[in-house]
Structure 1
């Protein structure tokens, strides 16, 4: 396979295919919850005149309600939130509101206020605003007065009736992670108080505020900001909870003073929780358990717990086991709020009112008792059933062979409108006064309707899965055929014509089916890939492959099967490494110790003992990091140590990297000196800024300005003032130091040491493969494996245009996949925000994400340059090994895809989606990085190495 247009064509097809097929996981497992054209339903009589929703953004349930929840902090009070706890114990109902992934602020608020769970793919379509206009409790109210963050409030005003949702937001610059975030929450309280004060002198405002069905929304962002900055088990987070508790108390006082009645209902909850390390974007269970406390008009008081207990190990330490804990799903809160103030349930809401289930205590204390609960259950059933009917009509009209959900066909085959008979039965029970039975029937209808809704949303899943698996298997076959078989092996045009005709008919049939079903445009694109791949495989390999199998010896076939089995087992172990990080350590133990001792030729072991020892040491050093805990705290001494090591490596490289040309030597020295200067200043300013942040002192703007200068200069220098190309090691050293600046500024603990270990291992890998290659070439040629013969055989392997992969190339590709995965997972979830605050104190999600990505990119730059050197040393065409790796990786991708689920725990859902996306994107990303590596290392010496380890047999000092 020459470095021609065919190589680029194959690489481009692979990259486009993998990028496009990332969307299949969302088309297969998730659909937009927004449906138009629905009728709305509401309860006839409201229980409260107005509602106050208070959301403590990022508040964990256990840290709010537990006694001695902050025992790790000296002098912490036993009860952190005495006012909210007194509500739970004396006059309110409480429980856990279970959130769903993605556990971010926007999806959490959409679920709470809109009653729907955002399409998971929507998080890729915007940061603050839902990409699709949606209905909400706010839009159904007479007026909603909202106060808080500019990241949350505007999205509820965008799709609402003009003037229905009024917002007061502080400036985005106020979201400073280095300031006391409680000021944001107190700002909300102050502006609520100002609103009531203005109403005393503004009759029109006073009248609007006193209307029925009015909602007040207080968004308290301080806890989220404090948790990110100091983590949840800090005294700062504890103090912010105390501030929030005081705000709730003062809010009640404001409403009592202004309205002088008892017609206000209150709900306190959170959009998401927070993990131990201060993150909430994953599936950690501490992110998904948020508090729910309701009290005021229309809400019941505390109830004694019964047997079996409503508590588990999670809530037993709270000291509330004598009271009923009533858990809900997050979308259920919207149904509860709608019922309390008597507004229509939001369109597309799938929330279930807690009072629907008569076997468990709900949250309501209605005037008419169970009659109202039964009526509310009926309204809830109608709202959700309407959602099902719209989807049902759509599928029945456009599906080629439509099959109704079984629950609505049993005994109702002649019914045109699903569920009508069941609604009529519930209404009859209510009229007869059988409220308990009516609620039971409504509960059953809602449960089956939600299952039916899921049935319709996943109606095409089996077909999509089949297309996806056929496409990935087709790519594997297509890649293997393109790499292994010469172009001359393809069939003639006449013999290939029937295959092309069959493929065209199949593609046309699928497109016709998609047109009938009004499938998304992406389906038309998805089906093109498997059709094209298998068409090309049959055309190119149909005859030659059968002939090769027929004439192959049993021993060689067995060898192919054994190698294939080992490769599949290796890739599946990498899949397991996504959930068991110790597997990466086991991998380094295997390739560092077992592989050389059991597989290397004896001559190589005896002649390269120093290389063997260094390789073993580097692999074992790198193997340590996946075993470290992902929960890390800022450690300045380790940051200083790792930064000093990076600096020392630069000094050693400066002294001992050879350049025969004096001009190149001077240029190299200048580049390295500049980079060492930037690393030194980066370390100096990092120490100053970390000290100020730890002491909670304001960081001078001059420090941040100079910090940005050194950070950007370190990254840019190797690109704008590159080291000479004649010695690739010198060029790699410049990139190592340039991106080492990232690990001075953005490391929290041991990431810098991992960067060093990983880079050294990659450098030694190049030397190991270069030393091993001549022996394997001679062995493949069935010649005596001697040093002289190995070097001679390597000389005949320089013609890249005749490249066909050797067995060793398969192993190298697997090793490359290992290094790709370890670059991402080597130090665990190193997405800590504390280091980012050194450069960006103000909330800026895209800039913060960019800095974290820089830290992720750095190891890949070293991998790209090392892999380019390896290609040059082995005299292989650029991207040849990457193509082998891209072909192999879809064995992993298929496994990840089949493991994706949208049921079970939220942790499982989040992990399976992210693993599939990461598994697909990492290899696409790596191919792009390797292209950059070829560009950065262009002009380096090429050719097989002599056994002394120097290009063309020349020894390097």
Structure 2
């Protein structure tokens, strides 16, 4: 059937709208941390001549510090990092550095070294290149010598003064997840050793190394690589911690031997932690808690624990409860390093020096004692205030009816600069040697200034929220009137005054945005609600009034009640994002309760075999959401999934018959090849997994063959479009083609889920066909031809239910198993770090069930003799009920797990709609030419 231009326009508008509006969550809740035109500040004199920053990439605090942290490993030592522990116990300060989401390497290092939390746009560049220019401690140093990964070091050299940051990086291909990653860390130590050795015969180099305000940066990537490959609780991760501990020990010895003084400060920390399954990037608490250990020149020694205790249940296993634990936010580390060597705070730093709070011991042991701490507090207050002042001037200059943050309102009345009197007061206290009160005042002032900065950064939040809600509600109404009202009624209520009103609102907002110098995205955001509501009012005003005048209010009430039921169902799906067992409950409802309550008794009796198969399939699929998301690599589970796919393929060869012998022969050939590839894939995966477990790596030959099998299996169904007259035969070829990825990229039972999910979808088509046929019996509509395209389609109550079911299957395809994002299976094909290729493979694995959903949904459309995209248009009307809920739930406060989840859920909800639309389009293309309702019935009679 043809798809009209109006339907294409509707679909395209929806896709563009949802893609654009994903950006609203960042404009509303997260703004760029970079502010230009600020004055920089520094302490007059640093405590140390040089600083050594050592970052154990991907190091969890608990596994470094806990006693008996690896009980699952025989003969594991009680203390896995004895040297670092001895520093904590005898000559250093320690605590937990709490990271922000996203817990990735790049934003973590930017926070540590730049003192700011990364602009989220960096994710589009793989957290590699600089989306915005930023300052850093390295750039403020006299010279920085950095060693480590080519993924981290270049970004600090790129934005720095030329020649200030020198770097030594290994090649990218050395980041091999199948090799011993400790070699990367040992390489860093050897490069440092070589540098110091070369200085003994190079006077110029020796002079640079001995200069003040010098920084050495050792980036140790091994733990991150090892954690991804073997997970944090593995023997390999434990050994890597021991290697890092030894590197720290030898680094100290190298500096002691080369400099022969006590002017070096050391800071050891991590950019992020790692979850139990070897992943990071979200708000999992194990990803956000990293160790911070500081010692050397200018750093205090260990202190007895405070009262109340600084420890909690998390740090009790450390066995360090007798010592003070001083926690910091990750950006605070940059402020600490700046104070230690006396350089300017990075210009965009929002870090707070731990020593500002006079009620808690910090990390510094300054030569001038509390005086230096008070002066550092003053510097920190000036740094934070610069942020507020620049933002304040920007908002005051461009905003209408601007109201400054309440703490600084008095400055508006006295015409002084915001914070000027408070800064003067702190300075006066220092001059009067009232250091305690100066620090206390600075602490309070910084807290208020950071709140004020947040106030200004979120100044437009209420307006954006209003625009977003208006846009999503407008889209729902726009799609509803597009598919509910006949085309002639679309034009009957057209009024020029409504168009003029919408245009006036649009121009008014554009004028406001221009006055406020708002981001260009704001101009785009406001277009959508203006357009949607203009179209809704034009198309629906007259038909709705006529409907009410005709006395059909009872029908309206029924429609509202049905709408409330649908909204309730959609809200339960919202809850399913955080409570996966809800998806299992859904399967019980549609597999058991729905047939008992809603099916006609005669339909149940006549189709009891179909009912039994449907119920069994739903209950079988319901098992998977109950499974833990934390899975170990399981070859039995992987092989079982492949065997189930193989059995279905063999059944298909024997079951499907073709009138055309040539078509039947081609089908059997394609399926035979796919089954052959599937079988070899199972064999190769078993071999590769055993080789990886034995640390033999992946043979290049096996990897080459694996890629050949993987790609050919996935591509073959697209090239040879078999079963043109048999939709299920064509579906089988795609099922087997995409099944290979659940062998190569599965960690456990994803293949079995793929089988059960696909079977449930196929049975859903049969169930809906039976119910549709029974509903058509005796109906006046049964002999009426279906509309030529979706523009003439008008949905019925059953279509609304089918659309809700479709949305349910869309969600289950993503959330049915919680183990789609494991990196371990990816190493079978991509052993060397390549974020985009790895992500592409994981996305391909996620897409695979959607291809099956798209094909079965297309078959369902054909079985019901409905136009293409007609049922999807109904779903399109419903899904943004969920999206609005997720948008309103987004938060940038609370735990990092809550922040990360709320952002992710909104983006997933928006993208799944876009994704589903594309997949449905693919399904219509793949199933083009299939027999439709009346033809299917006739073929069954024949």
**Does the CA contact (< 8 Å) of 1:54 and 1:268 recur in 2?**
yes
Q: C-alpha distance in 2, partners of 1:616/1:353?
A: 61
CA distance in 2, matches of 1:579, 1:719: 36
Deviation at 1:701, TM superposition (A): 1.2
Quote the residue 1:158 is aligned against: 158
Distance in structure 2 (CA, Å) of the matches to 1:701 and 1:55? 32
Following TM superposition, by how much is the alpha carbon of 1:562 offset from its aligned partner in structure 2, in angstroms?
1.6
Residues 1:171 and 2:171 aligned together: yes
Q: How does 1:906-925 map to 2 (within 5 A)?
A: 906-925=896-915
Does the 8 Å CA contact 1:589/1:620 hold for their aligned counterparts?
yes
Moved more, 296-305 or 548-557: 548-557
Once the two structures are TM-superposed, the CA of residue 413 in structure 1 deviates from its matched residue by: 2.0
Give CA-to-partner distance per residue, 1:573-613, whole Å, 9 cap, x none: 00000000000000000000000110011121111100000
Name the SS of the counterpart of 1:216 in structure 2.
strand
**CA contact 1:94–1:294 (8 Å) conserved in 2:** yes
Aligned to 2:852: 862
Q: Distance in 2 between matches of 1:706 and 1:27?
A: 46
Provide the C-alpha distance between the structure 2 equivalents of 1:773 and 1:821, rounded to a whole number of angstroms. 25
1:451 counterpart residue number: 451
Aligned to 2:552: 553
Residue 101 of structure 1 contacts residue 120 of structure 1 at CA under 8 Å; is this kept in 2? Answer: no
- Correspondence 1:926 to 2:912: no
Where does 1:596-675 land on structure 2 (aligned, <5 Å)? Answer: 596-675=595-674
Does the residue aligned with 1:409 lie in a helix, a strand or coil? helix
Structure 2 CA distance, aligned partners of 1:524 and 1:309? 52
Say yes or no: does 1:794 pair with 2:773.
no
- After alignment, is 828-837 or 524-533 more displaced? 828-837
Matched, 1:764 2:774: no
Report the counterpart of residue 27 of structure 2 in structure 1: 27
> 1:40 is matched with which residue?
40
1:4-19 to structure 2, matched below 5 A, reads: 4-19=4-19
Matches within 5 A, 1:181-220: 181-220=181-220
Question: Any conservation in 2 of the 1:69–1:78 contact (CA below 8 Å)?
Answer: yes
What are the residue-to-residue correspondences of 1:832-911 with 2, within 5 Å?
832-911=822-901
SS at match of 2:414: coil
CA gap 1:793/1:543 in 2 versus in 1, 3 angstroms: closer
- Following superposition, the deviation at residue 431 of structure 1 comes to 0.6
Quote the Cα distance in structure 1 between the aligned partners of 2:416 and 2:510.
Answer: 30
Q: CA RMSD, aligned part only? A: 1.3
Change (3 A) 1:944 1:327: farther
Residue equivalent to 2:811:
821
- Conserved? CA contact 1:585–1:623, under 8 Å: yes
**Helix, strand or coil at the partner of 2:237:** helix
Deviation of residue 473 (structure 1)?
Answer: 0.3
1:718 and 2:717 correspond: yes
The aligned runs of 1:477-488 (5 Å cut-off) are 477-488=477-488
Output one character per residue of 1:613-650: Cα deviation in whole Å (capped at 9) or x when no partner: 00000000110000000000001111111111111110
Contact kept, 8 Å, 1:941 with 1:951, in 2: the verdict is no
User: In structure 2, what is the Cα distance between the partners aligned to 1:94 and 1:129?
Assistant: 32
Alignment partners' CA distance in 2, 1:795 and 1:229: 62
In the TM superposition, residue 442 of structure 1 has moved relative to its aligned partner by: 0.4
Corresponding position of 1:811: 801
* Residue in structure 2 matched with residue 295 of structure 1 by the alignment: 295
How far apart are residue 954 of structure 1 and its match?
Answer: 1.7
1:725, 1:552 → 2: CA distance?
50
Q: Are the equivalent residues in 1 in contact too, given 2:107–2:127 (CA < 8 A)?
A: no
**Residues 528-566 of structure 1: per-residue CA shift (max 9 Å, x gap):** 000000000010000111221332435423321221011
* 1: CA distance, partners of 2:941 / 2:259: 90
2:315 aligned residue: 315
* 8 Å contact from structure 1 (residues 491, 543) kept in 2: no
Match of residue 937 from structure 2: 951
Deviation per residue, 1:662-696 (Å, 9 max, x gap): 11111111111111111111111111111111111
Aligned to 2:354: 354
Asked whether the 8 Å contact 1:226–1:240 carries over to 2, the reply is yes
> What per-residue deviation string (whole Å, max 9, x for no partner) do you get for residues 896-923 of structure 1?
0000011111111100000000000011
Q: Larger deviation: 14-23 or 548-557?
A: 548-557
What are the equivalent positions in structure 2 for 1:380-391 lying under 5 Å apart? 380-391=380-391
Q: Is the 8 A contact 1:794 1:944 kept in 2?
A: no
- Deviation, structure 1 residue 774: 2.5
CA contact (8 A) 1:398 1:517 kept: yes
| 1:909-952 deviation line (CA, Å, top 9, x unaligned) | 1000000000000110010010000000000001248xxxx533
Task: Say if 1:773 and 1:874, in contact at 8 Å, map to a contact too.
Answer: yes
Name the residue aligned to 2:53: 53
Residue pair 2:96, 2:325 contacting (<8 A) in 1 also: yes
Which residue number in structure 2 is paired with residue 782 of structure 1?
Answer: none
- Provide the C-alpha distance between the structure 2 equivalents of 1:910 and 1:955, rounded to a whole number of angstroms: 55
- C-alpha distance after superposition, 1:420-469 (max 9, x if no partner): 00000000000111000000010011000000000000000000000000
Superposed, which structure 2 residues align to 1:17-166 within 5 Å? 17-166=17-166
Q: Is the 8 A contact 2:492 2:542 kept in 1?
A: no
Q: C-alpha displacement at 1:45, in angstroms?
A: 1.1
Deviates more, 1:38-47 or 1:654-663: 654-663
Q: Secondary structure at the match of 1:722?
A: coil
Correspondent of 1:939 among 929, 936, 939: 929
Provide the rounded CA distance (Å) in 2 between the counterparts of 1:598 and 1:198: 83
- Structure 2 counterpart SS, 1:267: strand
User: Equivalent residue for 1:267?
Assistant: 267
Deviations 1:19-66 (A, max 9, x none): 110110011111100111110000011100000000000000000000
Encode CA deviations 1:287-315: one digit per residue, 9 max, x unaligned. 00000000000000000012100000000
Alignment of 1:211-250 (within 5 A): 211-250=211-250
8 Å CA contact 1:29, 1:458 repeated in 2: yes
Alignment size in residue pairs: 940
* Superposition pairs of residues 219-618 of structure 1, within 5 angstroms: 219-410=219-410, 413-492=413-492, 496-618=495-617
Is 1:774–1:793's contact at 8 Å kept on the other side of the alignment? no
> Equivalent residue for 1:783?
none
Pairing 1:693-708 to 2, within 5 Å after superposition:
693-708=692-707
Could you tell me how far apart the structure 1 residues matched to 2:431 and 2:697 are? 67
Partners of 1:30 and 1:775 lie apart in 2 by 53
Q: Tell me, in whole angstroms, the C-alpha distance in 2 between the residues paired with 1:584 and 1:492.
A: 44
The unaligned stretches of length 5 or more in structure 1 are: 779-786
Q: Which residue of 2 aligns with 1:679?
A: 678
CA distance in 2, matches of 1:665, 1:441: 84
Normalising by structure 2, report the TM-score. Answer: 0.99
The alpha-carbon deviation at position 793 of structure 1 amounts to 4.3
After TM superposition, give the deviation of residue 409 of structure 1 in Å. Answer: 1.1
Residue pair 1:106, 1:130 contacting (<8 A) in 2 also: no
Q: Distance in 1 between matches of 2:130 and 2:624?
A: 39
In 2, are the aligned partners of 1:52 and 1:265 still within 8 Å (CA)? yes
Deviation at 1:323, TM superposition (A): 0.3
Distance 2:77 2:60 in 1: 17
Work out the CA distance in 1 between the residues paired with 2:130 and 2:536: 43
Secondary structure at the counterpart of residue 954 of structure 1: helix
Q: What is the distance in 2 between the residues matched to 1:637 and 1:47?
A: 59
The structural deviation recorded for 1:492 is: 4.9
